[in-house]
Structure 1
Amino acid sequence: MKPIIEYQDYHTFLSDYYEERKRTSAFSWREFAKIAGFVSPSYLKDVCGGKTNLSKVTMGRVAKAIGLVGHEVTYFEAMVQFGNAKTDEAKKKFLEQMHSIALDHKVRIIDKDAFEYYDTWKNPVVRELAPLMPGAMPGDIAKACAQDVSALDVRRSLQFLERAGFLKQVQENVYVQTEKSVEGSKEGLPLAIRSMHRAMGNLAVDSLNRFTPDVRNVTGITMGINREAYERIVLELEECRKKITAIADECNDITQVYRLNLQLFPLSKEVTKGKEAKDE
């Protein structure tokens, strides 16, 4: 079984723990629950299956029951609270705690690079700009950005992108992009991407005043649809995104970095005719 600090989903961790114990002994869900002090013999089975969650009270009992000590307990408690958190802000807080513990114990979690990459709009922009400006100093790249950014910010971004393997310096101040994509766990990566979406959404709002209509295109439509129509529209948006990506890939003489946001979101609750709106 992997060390606990290589897990980010406590349901999976507990399930693996149970399977390991069962493989090496006559272990049962009833015995597992009894050791942890639960009346229901199926409670921990439901937790492992994702049907229910541990609480702040029960996570300590489970940690003790499976023999966690020291930093393992702290990591497990952060992992439980990460899994149970309802907001991105809370999830990020507990995931950062997990990263800190993992790094202190010499374990590198790839989500750290994902979070740092998506933590600011500067990283994706610098990754695109730097190869277009061979020989450019950080200050030159900063001046080429449409948004306000300092030379120090660009220098830090370049250092991160090179260290994480997103850019490769082939000569002094000459960079090429690598084929590396941003990778992460199924728990952590969506959280990091949502952070970037928020930042890019703010830049989109700012673009309304910063740029003239001839260099930016902002349109929208407010419409009434049902679930079937929503799913059809999502498929069309995905096909559109693929076509736009293909056009960009065919562009060899790149002169500028753009961002395209595709946004489709509800402006009302679901309404059934003749009835009140549902509370989700």
Structure 2
Amino acid sequence: MEEHAMSESGLTVAWRAGTMLGEGPVWIEEQQVLLFVDIHGGRICLYDPGRGAGRDLPCTGRPSFIYPAGADSFVYGSNRELRLLSLTGRDERLCDLTVPEDTRTNDGAVDVHGRLWFGMSHVPETEPLGGLFVYDRGEVRQHLDNIVVPNGPAISPDGSTMYHVDSPRGRISRYRIEDGAPVDGHLHVQIAEGDGFPDGVTLDAEGCLWVCLWDGWGVRRYDPDGRLMREIRFPCARVTKLALGGADGTTAYVTTARTGLGDAELREQPGAGSLFAFDAGVAGVPAAHCALP
């Protein structure tokens, strides 16, 4: 395949959202919409595939993930706090996070028990001051540390397995979750130098892991043993995270970024910052709801 060419997947631009750092797509089954964030743009975006249109929701700071927390409530991470949002416009602080000042929330996931797992990233992305935290009905605990940019996690539907990404080191690790804590971590996939950096990860209904590659021009699917099964090439370099949804549950929605790209790169990558879609051929795992106190 020619470098950076479209693949046989039928990859399309769903919405030219123009995100600086699009991240964290999550399919909301109840409303049949996709939510995602633009961290550097300070946006929470809602895409309605039924209308083929998107819009922004009011938010605060630099949102980095968003998950359902009730019929019309959503929890999102922003800077050094967790916040609550509703589609009717409510936006209020849920809790402050006791973390270093030069960190911010990054990627997240909710497990079947309603626990919100999320990473804190070093803001200049140079020092290992980040880690993995969990919000459990009002209590916040830290489980992993010494991480520069944590991504994921992705958690199995039964809540027993977690995949966690150390992006600068190219490592995707697999953990057992035991008594609410990740244990027995070991390397699951190592992304080779020059292939990009692993960013967001997502599990599908067959237990396979979808990995987006920052500066890697694509998305990969790995089987439960860590073997590469499929790769979809993108027309832009900074591919960030994938969610499975749509009317039949098998549409892959993928966020991308334009931050840090120069004028010449943006001319080469006019789709950078868009929301892309393709037929994944496999269903996703419904998003769990974050349990509030």
TM over 0.5: no
Q: TM-score, normalised by structure 2?
A: 0.19
Higher helix share: 1
Q: TM-score, normalised by structure 1?
A: 0.20
Higher strand share: 2
Higher RCO (C-alpha under 8 Å, 6+ residues apart): 2
Pair member with larger Rg:
1
